[in-house]
Amino acid sequence: MTDKLTPLREQIDAIDAQILALLSQRGRIAQEVGHVKAETDAPVFRPEREAQVLRGVAERNPGPLKNGDVQTIFREVMSACRALEKRVTVAYLGPPGTFSEQAVYQQFGSAVEGLPCASIDEVFRATEAGTADFGVVPVENSSEGAINRTLDLMLATTCVISGEVSIPVHHSLMTKTGSMDGVTVVCAHSQALAQCQVWLNLHHPGIERRAVASNAEAAVIASRDPSVAAIASEMAGEQYQLGVVQAHIQDDPHNRTRFAVIGTLNTNPSGRDHTSLVLAVPNKAGAVYNLLAPLAKHGVSMTRFESRPARIGTWEYYFYVDLEGHRQDEPVARALTELQDNAAFFKLLGSYPVGL
């Protein structure tokens, strides 16, 4: 066996040497890019360029490696190259171990400075204040719908959306001991409790459910108190040394959460983009119908339509709309101008590459 392996491993060693030489060449060019950007004060992180590189490697991938795996490798290569220019700081809903943190690494790779925050509000504040270069905030979950606090803060702050990222959300029930003996409370973020309610009703109908600030927070509590079980990711469980009672307890096996990358960067077109905006109309018959007419007229598809009460005491609403295309694409630009003319309120949140 050894005789057969030796020449193959020699080939792998030779290839690794080439990969390493090429990586270092790539790194040196990224440093030059960094110098050019510094001269013009241009942004280091360019989501549209990174999206194009990742789409390109999937299109050109000759196999046998899977597209997703090749993209993970290139995501890390770009992350390391970007860090040679500047290590970007990204605020997220902490503590470490949350799905928000996973979304940060999914978008930026691991050569990034994560800044865990106590609340979604704080993520917006840190990003607005420039303490962080970007923030990552949950926007919607495939089972539970919109994250209302994020929608409200999109409206209230000056942050724009520079990117989006979607990750699978798998919940595990975990305790300090790995068993449910003596457990009287299940802690999790309210969204996670909602996403696992059918399973909990079936398997632990009598146990108190307590909403806490985040799933990772629940994991911290469970790591200190054996009468508490946490619902969180297995990553959080590992971080806080919990034993898994039951993995994959979310009611929908395809459960996903979409996150927005917020910041001050107006991302350029990548070729496959989304545009997000908030609109309001006067409270009269046909107003919403008329409002959206420019989309049909210019052939722009709407991928999301969400309403939030305006909270001014009357039955008025803000509409959160996602469109296919970039604000600089001709049909989108035309539709946006007409939408703005028809709307009582109009705020463009940003255009950004469609998440992988």
Give the footprint of ligand ISJ on this chain (CB under 6 A).
30, 33, 45-46, 49-50, 53, 78, 81-82, 85
In the complex with ligand ISJ, the residue whose CB is nearer, 53 or 155, is: 53
List the one residue out of 127, 137, 123, 128 whose CA is nearest residue 165: 137
Query: Which residues form the catalytic set?
Result: 257, 259
In the complex with ligand ISJ, the residue whose CB is nearer, 82 or 326, is: 82
Nearest distance from C-beta of residue 327 to ligand ISJ, angstroms? 20
**H-assigned helices in the chain:** 2-40, 47-60, 67-85, 99-108, 120-129, 148-156, 190-195, 197-203, 215-224, 234-239, 287-297, 330-342
In the complex with ligand ISJ, the residue whose CB is nearer, 85 or 101, is: 85
Q: Provide the token pair at 63.
A: 């196999």
Nearest distance from C-beta of residue 98 to ligand ISJ, angstroms? 24
Q: How far is CA 308 from CA 163, 262, 353, in A?
A: 22, 20, 25
Report the distance separating Cα 266 and Cα 256, nearest Å.
26
List the one residue out of 348, 295, 288, 289 whose CA is nearest residue 315: 288
Nearest distance from C-beta of residue 270 to ligand ISJ, angstroms? 11
Nearest distance from C-beta of residue 114 to ligand ISJ, angstroms? 17
In the complex with ligand ISJ, the residue whose CB is nearer, 43 or 116, is: 43
Q: How far is CA 63 from CA 28, 57, 70, in A?
A: 28, 11, 9
Phi and psi angles of residue 110, each rounded to the nearest 5 degrees, phi first? -90, -10
In the complex with ligand ISJ, the residue whose CB is nearer, 77 or 323, is: 77
Confirm if 290 and 300 have CB atoms less than 8 A apart: no
In the complex with ligand ISJ, the residue whose CB is nearer, 87 or 248, is: 87
Residue 196 class from Cβ within 10 Å (0-12 exposed, 13-18 middle, 19+ buried)? Answer: buried
* Nearest residue relative to ligand ISJ (C-beta): 81
Nearest distance from C-beta of residue 71 to ligand ISJ, angstroms? 13
DSSP state of 299: T
Nearest distance from C-beta of residue 30 to ligand ISJ, angstroms? 4
Percentages helix, strand, coil for the chain (3-state, rounded to 5) are 45, 25, 30
